[in-house]
Amino acid sequence: MSLNLHLLRLFAAVAHHRSFSRAAEALHISQPAVSRGVREFEEQVGNRLLERGAAGVEPTEAGRILLRHAAPLFAAERAAEEDLAALRGLTDGSLAIGASTTISTWYLPPLLGAYHRAHPAIRLRLTTANTQEIVERLLARELDVALVEGPIDHPSIRVRRWWEDRLVWVAAPTHPLAQGAAPLYPEQLTGEMMILREPGSGTRDVGQAALEEHGIQPGAILEVSGTEAIKQVVAAGLGIALVSEAAARPHLALRQLVVLPVRGFAASRWLSRLSLPERQPTAAAAAFERLLDKAEEPPAAPLPP
């Protein structure tokens, strides 16, 4: 029996999205076509691969076994496509970039503009996700370029430092901690409601490490997905947050947020470039990596006096 990669891809999409309709939407084909393809695939392999569960469509035991083998098959297929794309150079092809939120929002836009002006024939795709998801997508060869905010220690991934990103405590101007002129002591932050990113975020990991290092105990924690949403929540007067200074600058300049200076508190994290050592970059990816090598820190709104 030989596996049909097209039908395998249909089955894997349904298993990933836990829904025939969502899989069809992601693949840009009709739901009946997905259903027919999965039925045909089950007939070919001689096993039932999917069943309805409480959370949606779930793979059976046979389906889970097949999914474990599907990932390296898809990776090999993408590797072959990349080798062929490298032969085409920069006159055709695509570039898939994955970056965690702060990098995607505040660091990459001018670089994407410069790249497009230099190589207009290359189709660009930017995926914004937390550090954990970017790592997973890179390992699956779904990304050509990957940049993250959090610490990474994975035997299959090469990590290179790119930029050092300073973190600052921010609050609404009306927050009680923002009323004094003198810097705060770390213990004054204990008991405050703190707005944190979701687990898997690089900012969350660095923030929790900084809290432990300075012995700061939150009074309550509100998890919010995304830095932009965090800033809006804090600006509305709900709690304080440790965020990237680059991401905070526009709100600071507009006085929607203020920095809370804390004595002896310094927190930063390295923004990192990730790659797979055994993977040969395409011409499009190599050109973007050269742009990252030469990149200067992106312009940002000035901090208020």
**Which of residues 34 and 201 earns the better pLDDT score?**
34
3-state DSSP call for residue 25? helix
Dihedral, CA of residue 203, residue 238, residue 263 and residue 257, to nearest 10 = 80
Region 277-304 average pLDDT: 74
- With residue 57 as reference, give the H or E element that holds it: strand 56-59
Q: What is the average pLDDT value for the chain, to the nearest integer?
A: 86
Per DSSP, helices labelled H in 156-259 are 202-213, 227-235, 245-253
- Position 301 pLDDT exceeds 80: no
Planar angle of CA 161, 162, 167, nearest 5 degrees: 95
pLDDT in tens, 9-31: 899 989 888 899 988 988 889 99
Low-confidence winner among 68-72, 133-137, 227-231, 301-305 (lowest mean pLDDT)? 301-305
**Which of residues 202 and 211 earns the better pLDDT score?**
211
Residue 302 maps to a domain: no
Do 206 and 243 reside in the same domain of the chain?
A: yes
Do 138 and 177 reside in the same domain of the chain?
A: no
- Position 153 pLDDT exceeds 90: no
Taking alpha carbons only, the member of 248, 172, 238 closest to residue 203 is 248
Q: Any idea what the CATH number is for the domain that residue 39 is in?
A: 1.10.10.10
What is the structure's pLDDT at 26?
A: 85
Residue 208 maps to a domain: yes
Residue 180 maps to a domain: yes
Percentage of the chain lying above the pLDDT 90 cut? 41
Do 207 and 223 reside in the same domain of the chain?
A: yes
pLDDT in tens, 45-77: 888 999 987 778 998 998 898 888 888 887 777
Residue 52 maps to a domain: yes
Taking alpha carbons only, the member of 210, 215, 157 closest to residue 190 is 215
For residue 121, which amino acid is it?
Answer: A
What is the structure's pLDDT at 235?
A: 95
Residue 299 maps to a domain: no
Q: How far is CA 19 from CA 49, 232, 263, 285, in A?
A: 13, 33, 52, 33
Q: Any idea what the CATH number is for the domain that residue 215 is in?
A: 3.40.190.10
Do 43 and 137 reside in the same domain of the chain?
A: no
Percentage of the chain lying above the pLDDT 70 cut? 93
What is the structure's pLDDT at 305?
A: 41
Burial of 114 (0-12, 13-18, 19+ CB in 10 A): middle
pLDDT in tens, 95-115: 999 998 889 988 899 899 999
What is the structure's pLDDT at 303?
A: 42
Do 282 and 140 reside in the same domain of the chain?
A: yes
Do 106 and 133 reside in the same domain of the chain?
A: yes
Domain end: 84, 100, 130, which one? 84
Do 235 and 192 reside in the same domain of the chain?
A: yes
Low-confidence winner among 170-174, 247-251, 255-259 (lowest mean pLDDT)? 247-251
Measured CA to CA, the distance from residue 66 to residue 40 in angstroms comes to: 15
- Position 179 pLDDT exceeds 70: yes
Do 180 and 120 reside in the same domain of the chain?
A: no
Domain end: 84, 107, 141, which one? 84
- Cα dihedral across residues 236, 248, 116, 270: positive or negative: negative
Do 52 and 21 reside in the same domain of the chain?
A: yes
Region 78-107 average pLDDT: 78
Region 175-182 average pLDDT: 91
- Position 218 pLDDT exceeds 90: yes
Domain membership of residue 208 as a residue range: 166-268
Do 136 and 191 reside in the same domain of the chain?
A: no
- Position 1 pLDDT exceeds 60: no
What is the structure's pLDDT at 299?
A: 42
Do 158 and 170 reside in the same domain of the chain?
A: no
Do 182 and 217 reside in the same domain of the chain?
A: yes
- Position 304 pLDDT exceeds 50: no
- Position 255 pLDDT exceeds 60: yes
